[in-house]
Structure formats: structure tokens, C-alpha cells
């Protein structure tokens, strides 16, 4: 894994080598093993290297024979050996064993279409000095990040793996994107292609961007094509297909010239990866697990079962479920506000694993592709009920019941009568937004600053989210939810968490379940192959069953969670008061409403942990990334900023 950055100059100006170095130095955590650069009259490309493949000759940028094509890559190309062989047969000459070099010569053959031939996780840039064009490419599912802008003063165009590299440019003075603030408070992340800043964007998954003298254009080269629902047939063939692709996907991700292992949570997805690795490895697989002193959040017993089942070289660490030492890391490495609290154990796990390996495989993606989330089951159940109720009844009686029925936020969703009744009064897209959001509608309006700017007038994250459902309303309910998650939650939350947590410690994370071939196979399958009754990942579990202990296959799904609710009644209360309830945050928030939410949570009547965490992450981002105040857990009982109490 690596970090890339670069820019195009305005006419009549020459690139600044010092500026490029400064941008790449902001990415040194992504690539501590080396720095490389290319500069000509128009373009500057830089690369920070984490050496994984071809340790001796794989430095970047890499060029073609006459130096007219230059490439920098963040990621891995898993089918590079096959591509290399085909290109050599066509007369191309290679001077390294690097996977990056195939991109140079493949571009010479197919131009902008090159990502269509590549299997991997990647974000890369190709500078064509003959055409004076810069091509940016992001992998199909968004595993690797790529930011860009045509609105940074002094440059015609710039890009980088992380926002922090763009902030090194002297002309980087963007306004905060207030709509992105609202999106974040609702969803706990800023969805692609927007960022927390105006006119700074993420290249969306499965897209290319071409920057030339005539401007910038983007093109979608891939998306998961979900099939219209058909009657289910015998699943045997699909089970065999999943198993064969899973074996190949894991095998390809075991290509490495440095030590590698697997994150092992004790759940089905990571246990299957460990089993598939063990089945194809001559050496003991290294497994890594984090446990907590609080048994409610600890899965070590199951991780040990999976490790023993595979004869693994197992490593584990038990930590107090706290945030003290990783809080500054969390704020520093997530350049945008990020509200998924499972980033905390992810950081602990990455830090521990990096002491032993440079590459770690993980189980990301199986839930999104094969229907593993409980919210999918509830979404399908609500849609069946919705379709059996007259519209007039849903829009009146059910809506009224949803308004006045006790909410019971602290109960499991199955017992939340208010949520069920409210969702039945909405269509699938609105109901799904209600299910996945923290702040919404009147609650969002109440917590946003009374002096919010005009661009927020009438803006609704719900409407934007529901619009995605509208575009795929011809699909089955499950397919709609999965498709929207692939555009939003997966690249905006899950993959950001894994990338930033691993890269914070110079560790490469690989996700076999996010092989695009598995995504395409899953999209063609009927819903009953994924969600069977109340059971999610139905045939996926059958496909991986030879590699997973029965005790894990049969266990109830458990998330990677931390005791947020308790923390906000104890250690995080002074942190919240110091960072959130201060006048710096009046630009974004109603401090009175933020205080009311905290007090209501303190009373124990309501659990507002996710809302409070989003507010805290927004405030911590504002303190560090905009004002240079490093948030610490210690010393915050006596606030250093003006506090409104």
C-alpha cells in the first residue's frame, strides 16, 4: 500500500519540486519505505512507498520505454502476472517485477479502458506527456481513496490519496461544505463523491477521471448490475461458484514479498478467510485478534476456536475498552469527520498486527454482497407488510401511530413499535434512511446551527438518499438496499475505516470478499439465496462451511463495537463539553440542542450514543484540521476553549 499525490500547473508556470515533496510527506504513514517523483513542464507526480511486491526494483513512478507515460499506484494488481504475459507477447519490454509496470504498458494498448482489464484494489494516476492528459482511476468498489480538485489556487488540477496532502498546497483554502456536515450528522460519514470541503471531491468507485487542457470529465467504467428478481433454482451451482471464486480471491491476495496474516474477529467472514488461507498455505497462517476486558464486547473465545481449527500462529491482545491512546490517531488520520466508532478497535487491531506483518487480509464486504445485515431482513419484512396494507391506511393511521407510539430506542429493533409503524408509512428508500441514520428530519434541523448558511435551506439528506432508491426501484427490496449500500455505506464507511486504520500504522489491508467477480456473481443471484427466512448470507455460509468451525457458522452475528453509551456518561462527558459545547462550534451546531441531547443521555432515559459520537467527531475534526488544536483525552476536564454550559 502506498500514497500518491500530484498536480498539473497552469500555463506559463513550472511545477515546484518542493511542493510535491511536501504533499507526499503528509502521506509518509502510507508509505514509510521510500519516496519517488516525476516532474516535467506540466505535471508533477509523487509516490510514498510501502514495499510489498518487488522490493528491489519496484520504486515509483514507473515509465514506459521512452518515458512518455508515467504511473503512480496506490494498491495492488492481483492479476498482473497474466496481464504481463499477454503484454510481453505483444512486444512490450519490462524492466521490473512490479505489478505497477503492467499499468504503463496496458495503457499503451487500451488507453482509458485499462481498469476494465485489471483485478485489484487501486487508485492510480497515469500522465501521458504526448497527449498532455492525466488519467485518474479508482477501483470498482472503492477500496482505495482518491481526492481531487480543480479549484485549488495556483494549480490547474491536483489529486492525492488523502485530504491532508492537498492541505499542504499554499492555495488550499476551501470553505466547509455545509451540506456535507448535514450528511455526516445523518449518516456518520460524508458519502462519495462529496467531501467535507466545497469543490474538493472523491473520485467515486468504479470511475475514471481525465484531466486535459479542455477540462475534466469523469466516466463510470463499472458497477454491480443487479438482475431483476427471478424464481430461485437449485443453489448447488451458485455455492460451487462462490467457493471456487473465494479460493481464487484469497490465493491472489496472498501474493506478497513480505509477511502477511489475517484479522480474525471470530465471525464467519474473517474465519472463512483464515480457513481459505490455511488451505492454500504451506506455512502456518498468522491470525490477529483483539479482545476487551469488558466481556460484552469480547469475541476472543470464537477467534481462538477459528485459529485452532486452522492450526494458526495466533496473536491476540486484550485491551481495556477505552479511547485514550487512539483518540488523537483517530482524529488525525481521518481527514473528514468519521462517526463509525468501530474505528477504535480497528486501530488497536492494526497497531498490534503491524508488529508482526506488513499485509493483513480481512472479512470486509461479505455482509454487503451476500445479505448479512439484520437491517436487510427488517427492510424486506417491512416491505412485505407495506405491500399488504392499503395506501390510505399506511399514510394516515400507521403514520399517526408512529408519531405517538412509545419509541423505546434502547430496545432491539424488533421491539421498537414506533420505528416499525413510522417505516410502514414510508416507501423503502425513506424507511431505509430512517433505519441507518442518526440525525434526521426535525432532529437534524434542531441540532444544526440556527445561523446556518443559505445553502442548507431546504436541504435534506433523506431526499438525496431516497433518490438513490428511486433509480433502482425496479429491483427487489434486498437488491435495492444492497445497491445503495455499495454506493454509500461500503465506500463511505467500511472501506474508509479499514484503509485509514491500517495505513495509520503502515499496514496493508486486503479484502478477498470484495473481489469484483464475487460482487458480479452476488448481484445475479435471487434474494432467497442471500436472505433465507431470517438467516442472512444463506448460501455464502454453505459455500465457506468446509473452512469454518460449526460453532462459528451457527453463532449470532456480533458487531465490532465499543461501550459508547457508558463512555458518554463517564470519561467522554468532559471531552464532549470541551470540544462540542464551545463557541467555535456555533458555526455548525445549536449548542443548546447538543447540550439537551447530552443531558437526556446522562439521565438514562434515552440512548443517544451515536448522535453524541457524531457531534464529538465533528467537533474534534474542526479543532484539529481547521484550527490546529490537537484533541487529547487528558487535560480536557478543564476546557481550553470557551465552553457554553
Q: Which residues are catalytic?
A: 2
Q: What is the dihedral of CA 518, 523, 525, 526, to 10 degrees?
A: 150
In this structure, are residues 403 and 307 in contact, taking their beta carbons and an 8 Å threshold? no
- Provide the edge-to-edge strand list for the sheet that holds 2-8: 34-39, 43-49, 2-8, 157-160, 147-149, 201-202
H-run or E-run covering 359: strand 359-361
Residue with cell 441531547: 597
428-436 helix and 417-424 helix, angle to the nearest 10 degrees: 150
Q: Would you give the distance in Å from CA 319 to the centre of its chain?
A: 24
Count the helices and strands in the chain (H runs, E runs): 29, 17
DSSP, res 167: T
What are phi and psi for residue 218, nearest 5 degrees? -115, 155
Distance of alpha carbon 208 from alpha carbon 139, whole angstroms: 9
DSSP 69-115: EEEEEEEEETTHHHHHHHHHHTT---SS--STHHHHHHHHHHGGGGG
- Identify the CA nearest to 626 among candidates 331, 329, 347: 331
Question: How far, in Å, are 187, 263, 553, 574, 635 from residue 643 at the CA level?
Answer: 27, 41, 50, 11, 15
Q: What is the dihedral of CA 531, 534, 540, 543, to 10 degrees?
A: -130
Amino acid at each position: 500500500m502506498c500514497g500518491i499525490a500530484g498536480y498539473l500547473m497552469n500555463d506559463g508556470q513550472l511545477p515546484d519540486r518542493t511542493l510535491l515533496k511536501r504533499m507526499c510527506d503528509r502521506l509518509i504513514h502510507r508509505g514509510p519505505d521510500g519516496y519517488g517523483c516525476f516532474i516535467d513542464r506540466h505535471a508533477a507526480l509523487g509516490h510514498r512507498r510501502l514495499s510489498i511486491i518487488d522490493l528491489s526494483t519496484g520504486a515509483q513512478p514507473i515509465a514506459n520505454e521512452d518515458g512518455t507515460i508515467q504511473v503512480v499506484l496506490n494498491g495492488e494488481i492481483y492479476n498482473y502476472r497474466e496481464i504481463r504475459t499477454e503484454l510481453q507477447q505483444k512486444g512490450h519490454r519490462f524492466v521490473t517485477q512490479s505489478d505497477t509496470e503492467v499499468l504503463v504498458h496496458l495503457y499503451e494498448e487500451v488507453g482509458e479502458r485499462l481498469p476494465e482489464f485489471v483485478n485489484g484494489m487501486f487508485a492510480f494516476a497515469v500522465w501521458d506527456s504526448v497527449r498532455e492528459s492525466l488519467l485518474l482511476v479508482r477501483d470498482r468498489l472503492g477500496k482505495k481513496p482518491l481526492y481531487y480538485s480543480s479549484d485549488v489556487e495556483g494549480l490547474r488540477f491536483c489529486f492525492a490519496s488523502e485530504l491532508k496532502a492537498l492541505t499542504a498546497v499554499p492555495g488550499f483554502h476551501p470553505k466547509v461544505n455545509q451540506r456535507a456536515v448535514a450528511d455526516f450528522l445523518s449518516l456518520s460519514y460524508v458519502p462519495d463523491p462529496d467531501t467535507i470541503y466545497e469543490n474538493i471531491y472523491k473520485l467515486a468507485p468504479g470511475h475514471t477521471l481525465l484531466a486535459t487542457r479542455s477540462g475534466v470529465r469523469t466516466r463510470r467504467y463499472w458497477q454491480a448490475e443487479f438482475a431483476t428478481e427471478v424464481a430461485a433454482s437449485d443453489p448447488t451451482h451458485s455455492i460451487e461458484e462462490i467457493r471456487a471464486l473465494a479460493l481464487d480471491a484469497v490465493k491472489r491476495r496472498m501474493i506478497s514479498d513480505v509477511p502477511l496474516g489475517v484479522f480474525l474477529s471470530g465471525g464467519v467472514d474473517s474465519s472463512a478467510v483464515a480457513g481459505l488461507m490455511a488451505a492454500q498455505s504451506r506455512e502456518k497462517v498468522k491470525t490477529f485478534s483483539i479482545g476487551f476486558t469488558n466481556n460484552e464486547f469480547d469475541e476472543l473465545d470464537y477467534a481462538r476456536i477459528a485459529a485452532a481449527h486452522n492450526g494458526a500462529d495466533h496473536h491476540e491482545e486484550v485491551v481495556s475498552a477505552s479511547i485514550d491512546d487512539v483518540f488523537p490517531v483517530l482524529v488525525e488520520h481521518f481527514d473528514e469527520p468519521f462517526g463509525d466508532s468501530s474505528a477504535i478497535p480497528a486501530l488497536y487491531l492494526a497497531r498490534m498486527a503491524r508488529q508482526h506483518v506488513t499485509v493483513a487480509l480481512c472479512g470486509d464486504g461479505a455482509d454487503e454482497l451476500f445479505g448479512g445485515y439484520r437491517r436487510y431482513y427488517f427492510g424486506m419484512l417491512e416491505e412485505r407488510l407495506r405491500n399488504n396494507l392499503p395506501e390510505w391506511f399506511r399514510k394516515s393511521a400507521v403514520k399517526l401511530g408512529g408519531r405517538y407510539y412509545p419509541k423505546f430506542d434502547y430496545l432491539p429493533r424488533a421491539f421498537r413499535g414506533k420505528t416499525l409503524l413510522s417505516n410502514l408509512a414510508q416507501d423503502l428508500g425513506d424507511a431505509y434512511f430512517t433505519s441507518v441514520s442518526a440525525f434526521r428530519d426535525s432532529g437534524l434541523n434542531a441540532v444544526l446551527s440556527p445561523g446556518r448558511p443559505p445553502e442548507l435551506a431546504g436541504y435534506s439528506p433523506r431526499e438525496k438518499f431516497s433518490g438513490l432508491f428511486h433509480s433502482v426501484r425496479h429491483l427487489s427490496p434486498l437488491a435495492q438496499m444492497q445497491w445503495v449500500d455499495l454506493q454509500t455505506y461500503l465506500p463511505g464507511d467500511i472501506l474508509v475505516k479499514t484503509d485509514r486504520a491500517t495505513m495509520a500504522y503502515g499496514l496493508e489491508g486486503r479484502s478477498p470478499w470484495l473481489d469484483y467477480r464475487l460482487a458480479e456473481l452476488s448481484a445475479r443471484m435471487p434474494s432467497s439465496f442471500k436472505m433465507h427466512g431470517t438467516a442472512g448470507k444463506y448460501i455464502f455460509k454453505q459455500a465457506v462451511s468446509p473452512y469454518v468451525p460449526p460453532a462459528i457458522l451457527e453463532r449470532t452475528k456480533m458487531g465490532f463495537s465499543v461501550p459508547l453509551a457508558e463512555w458518554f456518561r463517564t470519561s467522554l462527558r468532559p471531552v464532549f463539553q470541551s470540544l462540542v459545547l464551545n463557541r467555535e462550534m456555533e458555526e455548525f451546531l445549536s449548542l443548546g440542542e447538543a447540550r439537551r441531547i447530552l443531558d437526556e443521555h446522562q439521565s438514562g432515559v434515552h440512548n443517544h450514543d451515536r448522535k453524541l459520537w457524531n457531534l464529538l467527531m465533528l467537533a474534534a475534526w474542526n479543532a484539529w484540521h481547521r484550527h490546529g488544536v490537537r484533541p487529547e483525552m487528558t487535560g480536557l476536564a478543564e476546557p481550553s476553549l470557551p465552553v457554553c454550559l
